[in-house]
Amino acid sequence: MAARYDFASDNVAGAMPEAIEALIAANQGFASGYGTDHVSRRAADLIRALLDVDAEVRFVASGTAANSLVLAALAAPHEAVICHDDSHIATDETGAPGFFGSGVGLVTLPGASGRIDPAALARTLAEPEVSYRQSPAAISLTNTTEYGALYSEAGAAALLGAAKERGLKAHLDGARLANAAAGGFPLRRLAGMGFDVVIMGGTKAGSTPSEAIVLVDRTLARRFDARMKHAGQLVSKGRYVAAPWIGMLETGAWQTRAAHANAMARKLAARMPFPILHPVESNAVFVEMDEPTLQRLYAQGWQVYRFLDGSVRFMCSWATTDEAVEALAAALKQVA
Amino acid sequence: MAARYDFASDNVAGAMPEAIEALIAANQGFASGYGTDHVSRRAADLIRALLDVDAEVRFVASGTAANSLVLAALAAPHEAVICHDDSHIATDETGAPGFFGSGVGLVTLPGASGRIDPAALARTLAEPEVSYRQSPAAISLTNTTEYGALYSEAGAAALLGAAKERGLKAHLDGARLANAAAGGFPLRRLAGMGFDVVIMGGTKAGSTPSEAIVLVDRTLARRFDARMKHAGQLVSKGRYVAAPWIGMLETGAWQTRAAHANAMARKLAARMPFPILHPVESNAVFVEMDEPTLQRLYAQGWQVYRFLDGSVRFMCSWATTDEAVEALAAALKQVA
Amino acid sequence: MAARYDFASDNVAGAMPEAIEALIAANQGFASGYGTDHVSRRAADLIRALLDVDAEVRFVASGTAANSLVLAALAAPHEAVICHDDSHIATDETGAPGFFGSGVGLVTLPGASGRIDPAALARTLAEPEVSYRQSPAAISLTNTTEYGALYSEAGAAALLGAAKERGLKAHLDGARLANAAAGGFPLRRLAGMGFDVVIMGGTKAGSTPSEAIVLVDRTLARRFDARMKHAGQLVSKGRYVAAPWIGMLETGAWQTRAAHANAMARKLAARMPFPILHPVESNAVFVEMDEPTLQRLYAQGWQVYRFLDGSVRFMCSWATTDEAVEALAAALKQVA
Amino acid sequence: MAARYDFASDNVAGAMPEAIEALIAANQGFASGYGTDHVSRRAADLIRALLDVDAEVRFVASGTAANSLVLAALAAPHEAVICHDDSHIATDETGAPGFFGSGVGLVTLPGASGRIDPAALARTLAEPEVSYRQSPAAISLTNTTEYGALYSEAGAAALLGAAKERGLKAHLDGARLANAAAGGFPLRRLAGMGFDVVIMGGTKAGSTPSEAIVLVDRTLARRFDARMKHAGQLVSKGRYVAAPWIGMLETGAWQTRAAHANAMARKLAARMPFPILHPVESNAVFVEMDEPTLQRLYAQGWQVYRFLDGSVRFMCSWATTDEAVEALAAALKQVA
């Protein structure tokens, strides 16, 4: 039986046609290097328009790199970044923030479904500074969260407000910002909420490898290209990293295809025979499933992951089909 | 007058059709992530076959990252890498080796046309180790060199032999390895010459951003994926970084198009009205040109660079046309 | 009322006479620099004799630096070090291991009274390696632990045995090794237990700032002086960092004065009106004390700390007097 | 014949009586840790008074660490520090600035006798910023220089003025600031000249290992203790690193003994049979000496170094005696 990766992650899908077509269109003639080209400029313009913000924009091929690059700009090595216990930067990036940030620390906080608990944040912010601990210089939110939950504008703004009162900077890991936007998170309010930097995910939304670094606080842009080059993140043929965004944003597909992914998750949730453990607010369904059952599902070829909290995760993407949901639902029913 | 970037660098060209077609072909269905996919495996197989070596192969989007990642694996932070005074790692990567290597040092040596002078190497290797200097742990050669010159097999082997006698490891910056191969550098002898790691350039050869890291010394491969992820260099949709290699290697275009670039350089050299300062052994022509003349050339729209040694550089690529060479030759004649 | 720091920590005490006298004795004539002097050699000989091991020995002024320097030698940046949840390297060194190790990770494990739980270690060692996590390359034990508990030889050997079976290296944070030795931990068995590196604490034992780095695995000593210099840890007048060890070891005071500190803790424990929360196996007493009571104690001038687990810590040192214990006991009785 | 290290360096001397006596005096009673003690406060007060500046002051045991810690605070990893070709940070610290600064670059400039050539600085400051080079963020001067020469107030101010016009920060490596002060460099004008940070050398002046970090720009002091701890530079028993300064400054010995060292160098210069290659403005004499002659000198037991520029260096210190100068002069006469 052939392995089926459809629901293993949203990065197992290929690239959407709009992204590929834009990439092909960018493959014309000569262009200046290192992100100074016309393609990168156009993609940046589209992002500024979408977010309604006069930000500097850069493109890199890895979300881990995007997050780490900017966290190193927001916190000194002897400082720390506040994030959720199960955030990607804390659990899935092989310590990359510490590498880019020369040992910068992470202060991880609990919270239901990947959203930082405001009371936990308040306690952390109230702690006295001591020389033998890394005091926080920034806060990082992830939207949608690792558990597919959505921060509301008010929820994000409240956390950022508390953090900024103490002088912290704010970072948004938006690897799944398209899904958040499709779920109602207002893109044009990101600056207003207080984010200094937004990582806007292309890859999981359906691009070839590309993430946009949106420097809302433009003072961070000083020598940022040198920072990228120094960290091996400024590719010479930059147009190929930027191009997919033109296709995805000019057509609106970045968001409409995320809406499709979200809808597929809701559909799967509706057919789910196992207890659902997190709110289905985007493109993921997390369920309770014992190990023998999961093994039976594996035996049928379905590749999925048991996640950090012990739940089993099913991810939908722009490429998820009705048929795939039906097939999975049937398999789940059978193994249940 | 429109700017013409044709000869500014070999990274201003787009991607060759063979690369783009393979990229499109890779955009089918679902695939596992982080370089474990079938596309990455196929590309690695092709490289192993081409180099006749049982190496581990990885793909990254940046040559700077490729070089730095492996140099950090070859030398500890308190050690150094020997390289040429004008090598890319020493002059054009914004200190990236020091970033990846936590302050690893570079010991730069002179040598005509970018080739390390054997006598200078011998002197450096003979120096006593002292605690207040970073002693060398590796040597890095670049072929073709920054000045378009070619190391012969014997020339490379002699340098590596001297270095390895002292226990150093050896790295090849092959950003233009295709041009070197087209110029006669025997790819199947790389392991025999003593290289522990080879960076095989895709980008300048005509790929979308992609460089292959060839770990000839397989012991370096232990936890190398984690090393890449930690450094923000392991993209989730790895197939798009690997795919172009399939097209370029299955068709032989990686090397035949480099041969074209080399031929264009020879053609340009034959028409060159200015003194040529370095042997034209690959796709570059370096000439003596005073500043007023260069300004007249700029005024005609031709974008080229004055290089580290004061010469003016003209780079050809897979995309350089006869017409472009003619047009440039005419312009040069006019400003001379 | 004057503040009394006697029980705040064992590093609030001054230096014992034996240490100061040796320092004065070392202040004669000229000496070669950077640890190559006769004083450093003599101190290293004494340590090798005490531990019965043919190790390389170096001296630094900071325990944090000593730990971090060697952890960076034992684990690559993309790897991790296993340690206790409340170990000094994880909680009290401002992220120094990550700084020295360029983002090296820590995998922290639970265990009663600061001793790593063997079952937790077994689970961690059994985890599959994945590229998105930092896999362990070393284990760090602390003896005595942060809670004043003692690893037995068998207890330490069992943990190290399990770790070494998986290829890990082993580090001993012996900031309070003198107290452990005085408590029965056999110094001449350290190599046999499997430690590759031992940090032997001078400062808390009663020295001016000095910690000995004992490289049991001599292969780690290659270019170690350069590693130290690169990290700002190789002082030119090295004799002053090494000298106190001569006085402390020639007289046996390093251990006999630690025995005194341990005895003072037992005496304090015997007079303690509050519940004791950890075994009193060395120079610390940890008790349950509510906040109003602690504030009353503070009001009497006694400086002590509420520790990571919520208990209140009283530390004895070589300089703790019977009178101080009596005075503290009286104060405790009064506030109880 | 016994080796004589007297003139090998100024760090082969022991500690002056004033330093040792202050250290002994500090060894009384209990004191709070990590530089918060009364001894550190008193030493800092004396330095502020001497320099007539309201700076934050910290103490570390290594000059390499002192320099690197603050350079990492002045320049980001993707930036560079301008310094002299032969400056200590560039040539004698095993790459420590790159380690502390996560790959921060050095731009080294020529200049006679270790003083940066103003024209070379002007050229560097005029270079356009490009993403593939590390652009300067700070400048570092050394006074006295590596060649024993002295910057005048006007000379230093002119270099700093040019640098600060471009927004750079300024660092003084004052490992031999005592010798500079004794030579006429006005300590109370350091802030006026534009230095943001001054490293004030204790060790070479005749202390046990201690260097003072003077943060003239007090904004750099924010979380500086955490920065030190993170880098393994905040020792718990801080009083022992600070104490010698009390003795050296209360008595004026820090400067008067440097004046003695300078006088010894002048005396040696007056007796020198070899050509003197650098101005004798402090405690060093650099001469031209061929290798056979140097070997004859070595054969007589005199330990000195052939320096970066090929000259042979003789260093005087607080401990240099008239008799030693006579003995060396006699030996030089004999081998000449």
Query: C151-186: per-residue pLDDT in tens?
Result: 999 999 999 999 999 999 999 999 999 999 999 999
How many CB atoms are located within 10 Å of the residue D57 CB?
24
Nearest residue, CB atoms, A232 vs list B15, B29, B64: B64
Quote the pLDDT of residue A36: 93
CB contact, 8 Å: A306 with chain C? no
Say whether pLDDT at C1 is over 70. Answer: no
Query: B48-99: per-residue pLDDT in tens?
Result: 999 999 999 999 999 999 999 999 999 999 999 999 999 999 999 999 999 9
Cβ(C283)–Cβ(C241) below 8 Å: no
Structure letter (DSSP) for residue A117: P
Neighbours of chain A (3+ CB pairs under 8 A): B, C, D
Residues of A in contact with B14 (CB under 8 A): 26-31, 237
Query: D275-284: per-residue pLDDT in tens?
Result: 999 999 999 9
Cβ(B198)–Cβ(B220) below 8 Å: no
Residues of C in contact with B56 (CB under 8 A): none
CB contact, 8 Å: C30 with chain A? no
Query: C58-113: per-residue pLDDT in tens?
Result: 999 999 999 999 999 999 999 999 999 999 999 999 999 999 999 999 999 999 99
Decide: helix, strand or coil at residue A283.
Answer: coil
Question: Which pairing describes strands C211-215 and C56-60: parallel, antiparallel, or unpaired?
Answer: antiparallel
State the ipTM, two decimals: 0.97
Query: D37-51: per-residue pLDDT in tens?
Result: 999 999 999 999 999
Structure letter (DSSP) for residue A128: P
Quote the pLDDT of residue D1: 55
Say whether pLDDT at A1 is over 70. Answer: no
Q: Which residues pair with A315 in a beta bridge?
A: A284
Please report the residues numbered 66 through 105 in chain B whose beta carbons come closer than 8 angstroms to any beta carbon of chain D.
77-78, 80, 91-105
Residues of A in contact with B72 (CB under 8 A): none
* Interchain pair A234, B64: CB under 8 A: yes
Quote the pLDDT of residue C3: 78
Decide: helix, strand or coil at residue A6.
Answer: coil
Name the maximum alpha-carbon separation found in chain A: 58
Q: Which residues contact A333 (CB under 8 A, 6 or more apart)?
A: A273
Kindly report the backbone phi and psi dihedral angles of residue D128, in degrees, each rounded to the nearest multiple of 5, phi listed first: -70, 150
pLDDT category of residue B3 using cuts at 50, 70 and 90:
confident
CB contact, 8 Å: C222 with chain B? no
Nearest-CA neighbor of A253 among A61, A73, A22, A56? Answer: A22
Structure letter (DSSP) for residue C4: B
Query: C196-240: per-residue pLDDT in tens?
Result: 999 999 999 999 999 999 999 999 999 999 999 999 999 999 999
What is the model's pTM?
0.97
Q: Which residues pair with B292 in a beta bridge?
A: none
Q: Which residues pair with C80 in a beta bridge?
A: C105, C136
- Residues C169, C175, C181, C187, CA torsion sign: positive
Q: Which residues pair with C220 in a beta bridge?
A: none
Residues of D in contact with C328 (CB under 8 A): none
Q: Which residue of A has its CA nearest to D232?
A: A132
Say whether pLDDT at D256 is over 70. Answer: yes
Mean pLDDT of A276-282: 98
CB contact, 8 Å: A211 with chain B? no
Q: Which residues contact A278 (CB under 8 A, 6 or more apart)?
A: A113, A114, A147, A148, A149, A284, A286, A311
- Residues A263, A269, A270, A271, CA torsion sign: positive
Nearest-CA neighbor of D19 among D49, D39, D35? Answer: D39
How many CB atoms are located within 10 Å of the residue B321 CB?
12
Decide: helix, strand or coil at residue A269.
Answer: helix
Decide: helix, strand or coil at residue D98.
Answer: helix
Q: Determine which helix (DSSP H) or strand (DSSP E) holds C312, and give its type and residue range.
A: strand C312-315
Cβ(C241)–Cβ(C235) below 8 Å: yes
Strand (E) positions, chain D? 56-60, 79-84, 105-109, 135-142, 169-174, 197-201, 211-215, 284-287, 305-306, 312-315
Two tokens, residue A244: 């997919």
* Interchain pair C94, A78: CB under 8 A: yes
**What is each CA distance from B15 to A237, B30, B227, B282, C30, in whole angstroms?**
9, 24, 29, 19, 67
Decide: helix, strand or coil at residue C238.
Answer: coil
CB contact, 8 Å: B6 with chain A? yes
